[in-house]
Structure 1
Amino acid sequence: MWALQRPEPGGPAHKSVLFVDTAADAAAGAATAGGRGGVVATGRTRGGSRSASVDWEAITAHAVGAWQAFAENPDTFEGEPGVAHAVGVVDLLDDVVDLTPARLVRASRAEVDPAELSAEVDTARRGLIGAARSLARTAGREGWSAAGASVREWRTATVSDLARGGALTLLRTMPEGARSRADGDGSNGSNGKGTRPDTARAVLTGSDIARGSSPTGDPAELPGHTPPVIAAGDVLVRAIASPDGPMSRVAGEEDRGALLGLHVHLFRPDPKRLDAWFLAGFLGAEENIAGASTGSTVLTVSPGRLRVPLLPLEEQRRYGEAFRHVHALRAEARRATLLAEETARLLAGGLTGGQLLPAREAAEGDAVRGRGDET
């Protein structure tokens, strides 16, 4: 956002421009500010969309607080490392004019305390070690056995058949203008209409399923009727087929009470007839999704065409436990990857910024090994 004001005739010349970057508050969102002089504020969202989980109060406090301090006395404004920085107009008009806030407010080497960075790296490293151990434990658990000489086969039923038989209920958030009645695939559509969605609730999106995150969608982007509310134990399947992450999951406590996004199918199984994790595992299977998808560039999943094996409930539960283990393995791998990236980023930044030094013992040990290799 740009906040601009025409210079006052005969008034003082503005020598600097305030840049504010609020992305670090929630890794998402956009901030606004007002006052005199010039300001640029920026925020980012995952995938370029607004997120209901953004901490707008923190973003507003950072942006407006920095602007008020700058407006009181632009010449003495010190800024906040990594968040706000006043840049001289002359310094902005170089050969390559780049007014990206993130570049101009980036903390310099002198602004980062070596002891604080070292402690941050150590915390991240300990978290990574714990995540790696948890991943190793999860990966080391065997939740399967060989089927034998031949591949197991079973009879299957479509979701439409299961819905007609009362084994599950299929719910969707219908787009604006779409018919609210079922279109032949067993869907009951939305669970209400004529009222705006509850803006206090987050929305679960297809991207949340792919990333394994809690609901992050914005209720303002939903159509003008009440979408289904997710309950723990519901099975959620992405409506757009893509290889970037899992296609399905079972709603947990973190999803309870969230609104169903436009591009997600909700399957609510009868627990006396269908195990939720068994259902999620087979509904999200690659072959199943491929067989139920239509389209050329964008593959849209037709939920009623998905197929589910007809197995006794006790056997379903054994499969469900195995699929739950697969889900946990994905989650642990994702957490370890994020922590590894963060630890590596901190280490690389500290080494190149001068706050961290290579361990002398490690360097001497490498030198000794090098001389041994030469001999």
Structure 2
Amino acid sequence: MTHDEATVAASDIARLAHVGRAAVSNWRRRYDDFPQPVGGTASSPLFRLVEVEAWLARHGKAFRVTPEERLWQRLRATVDDLRLGDAVAFIGALLLYVRREPERGRALATAEDRELGENLTRAIAGSVPELAGPRPDGVDAATVRRVVEIAAAEGHLAAFEFLCERYVDAYSRRLLVTPQDVADLMIELTGIKGGSLLDPGCGLGTLLVTAAGAAHATEVFGQEIAGAPARIAAARLLLRGCRARIAIGDSLREDAFPGLRADAVVCNPPFSERTWGYEELAGDARWEYGLPPRGESELAWVQHCLAHVKPGGYVVIMMPAVAAGRRSGRRIRGNLLRAGALRAVITVTEGAGASKQAPDLWVLRRPVAGERPAFQVLMIDAARDLSIAAPAWAAFRRDPDGSPDLPPGCRAVRVIDLLDDEVDVGPARHLSETVTVGGDYAAIRDRLSGAVTALAEAVPHLAVSAARREVATTTVGELVRTGAVTIRQAPLRMETGAGDRPVLTAADVRAGRGPSGRGTREAESVIVTPGDVVVPAAVGETAAVVVDEDDMPPDGQEVLLGPQLYLFRVDPERIDPYFLAGFLRVAGSTGVARASSASTRIDPRRAPVPRVPLDDQRRYGAAFRELATVESALRETYALGESLVRLGFTGVANGSLHHP
């Protein structure tokens, strides 16, 4: 395939031009010379890349098509959709081969087409047996050379992760990929700190990569029924230098690790599979808590996971919300509760599992012989705020049979209260029982009234400019070089669940609150001080805060900077912190400071800022600060409004409130 034949979808054009999909649709309507579709469907047309590039350049639209992007579009155009996963997996094997055999890898760039066609697959299989697989049609010699060139320029792992990101974006409806924030939570809930971890339904390896990347696990095992995702997962792990073993096959029918007892197990299995093997597995030894009903494949996965964890080890598994109360599964749920195996049920965000409804995480612990079964089970509704789950679980683990100090949306429920006719372990049912009405409704109504008034008063009166003023710009990188700004970043491997020091986390920055994490000060720790500007490291974030004295602990404790955050310390005689925070926020939300087009992280040194005197900076900063105040007031008003509506419905329904 030539460069002229590469095609792009509207979403690709939006990404290349750093605009939204709506902007591309608008261009197609407004401009008669916009390229015509050359393929795809009416709802998802494809355009020739070279024509799109020419149009963008002709109309002065900023864009950049990186070599990695050209490679991806080449694959999309030459490989059949059903084999695209195999193509990505083969490229993963190729990249690992090039890294393991650097001399031979460099020789590929000048090898003849025939040699690449006949010998390459055999050479890869010999050097990388873990990823052995056929080379799909469409991955020709030119594609191999391009992969080698990109790996040399960008790095083997970065090149492959770019392709994986594009593959997930293109096939999000077909692939079950655990959202990163949920994956982080699942690994944290296991409490694993080194040792082995298993994911028996690993897909593309998100959970395993999360565990290995944060050094939670030193050895990981995974199994996946489909060959292409399994090889992609293996490539992602092996390119990171992880000790990993990924098997292909049906975990329930063809368990690849029958003797394995891992330190922890995580899983996001397929939901509602009626053909999971009910007939042939009826007498399987794994069903310690009861034979899973034909329509309850999830309970088979729960027991498969428990069979693979050491006594005292934890299992965190994604479950559909209906599994908490389906009548057919009540016997197994009851047995899990009586044995003390089910320790927590946490409702998480919609779309995290195999259904569009908000699923639950079941946290289970394999009982230790002779120990007393657990007395209580933790219920958490984290659908709106995932950050409450980990601290609540940590508090519950410290006091599992007492009265742990839990945040709103959490409750420790006695096992005996769950063992009724239904054995319903859904958080929604048990948390709704804790709602008090009456005086609470009146108090929140008064608070909401005051918050609405404060919100109206907080809105700044920004005047409309008669004409947009052109201002010379510089970059944060230039400010760093001149000494006006210092950039710091916390260590990537940092435990934020326990310790003696408060930690400002990425979730805290997004929520506009003070530090909620705990950690231990190390030699590389970054200490947060009032006046520091803190922003998340991911593209698309709309958060940037200036640390205020009120955000600091009243006892004067040092606050540590958490992972996935950048800290900027300014010279106040040269840079206004609110001025800097405002422009960093704009750069993060628009993606203009993206580290590269292949990255989901920002490089703050690229963020543009106006080159203006300190007095002008303070005028910018005052406007940004007032807007941040509005944002905080909106957040409070929204939370109070939600509480008021919930209490109102509950109170009217149970008779504790009435309309006069």
For residues 272-321 of structure 1, the C-alpha deviation after alignment (integer angstroms, 9 at most, x for no partner) is 00001011111111588521114568621001111221111111111111
For residues 307-342 of structure 1, the C-alpha deviation after alignment (integer angstroms, 9 at most, x for no partner) is 221111111111111111000000001101100000
Q: Which runs of 5+ in 2 are unaligned?
A: 1-188, 190-288, 290-334, 347-362, 405-410, 553-557
Read off the aligned partner of 1:249 and give its amino acid letter. V
Q: Distance in 1 between matches of 2:498 and 2:548?
A: 20
Per the alignment, residue 167 of structure 1 pairs with 484
State whether residues 418 and 425 of structure 2, in contact with CA within 8 Å, keep that contact through their aligned partners in structure 1: no
Matching of residue 355 in structure 1 with residue 651 in structure 2:
no
SS, match of residue 528 in structure 2: coil
Q: How much does 1:55 deviate?
A: 9.8
State whether residues 378 and 413 of structure 2, in contact with CA within 8 Å, keep that contact through their aligned partners in structure 1: no
State whether residues 203 and 258 of structure 1, in contact with CA within 8 Å, keep that contact through their aligned partners in structure 2: yes
Per the alignment, residue 511 of structure 2 pairs with 211
SS, match of residue 328 in structure 1: helix
Q: Distance in 1 between matches of 2:585 and 2:573?
A: 21
Decide which of 445, 448, 463 is 1:125's aligned counterpart: 445
Residues 1-375 of structure 1: matches in 2 within 5 Å?
36=372, 39-44=375-380, 46-47=385-386, 51=390, 63-65=400-402, 83-84=413-414, 86-87=416-417, 89=419, 91-92=421-422, 98-100=424-426, 103-104=429-430, 107=433, 117-139=437-459, 141-142=460-461, 144-148=462-466, 150-176=467-493, 199-219=499-519, 225-242=523-540, 246-256=542-552, 257-286=558-587, 289-294=590-595, 299-359=600-660
Q: Distance in 1 between matches of 2:428 and 2:597?
A: 39
Structural RMSD (CA) = 4.1
Q: Distance in 2 between matches of 1:277 and 1:105?
A: 40
Q: Distance in 2 between matches of 1:197 and 1:225?
A: 19
For residues 80-129 of structure 1, the C-alpha deviation after alignment (integer angstroms, 9 at most, x for no partner) is x985463374624xxxx533366357539xxx8xxx72111100100000
Q: TM-score, normalised by structure 1?
A: 0.65
CA distance 1:104–1:165, change in 2 (3 Å) = closer
Q: Distance in 2 between matches of 1:105 and 1:279?
A: 43
CA distance 1:31–1:107, change in 2 (3 Å) = farther
CA distance 1:127–1:159, change in 2 (3 Å) = same
Q: How much does 1:59 deviate?
A: 7.9
Per the alignment, residue 189 of structure 1 pairs with none
Higher normalized helix content (fraction of residues): 2
Q: How much does 1:174 deviate?
A: 3.2
State whether residues 51 and 217 of structure 1, in contact with CA within 8 Å, keep that contact through their aligned partners in structure 2: no
SS, match of residue 336 in structure 1: helix
CA distance 1:104–1:312, change in 2 (3 Å) = closer
SS, match of residue 132 in structure 1: helix
State whether residues 378 and 393 of structure 2, in contact with CA within 8 Å, keep that contact through their aligned partners in structure 1: no
Q: Distance in 2 between matches of 1:38 and 1:287?
A: 46
Higher relative contact order (CA 8 A, sep 6+): 1
Q: TM-score, normalised by structure 2?
A: 0.39
CA distance 1:296–1:351, change in 2 (3 Å) = farther
Provide the identity percentage: 28
Read off the aligned partner of 1:132 and give its amino acid letter. V
Q: Distance in 2 between matches of 1:60 and 1:36?
A: 16
Q: Which runs of 5+ in 1 are unaligned?
A: 7-13, 24-29, 68-80, 177-192, 360-375
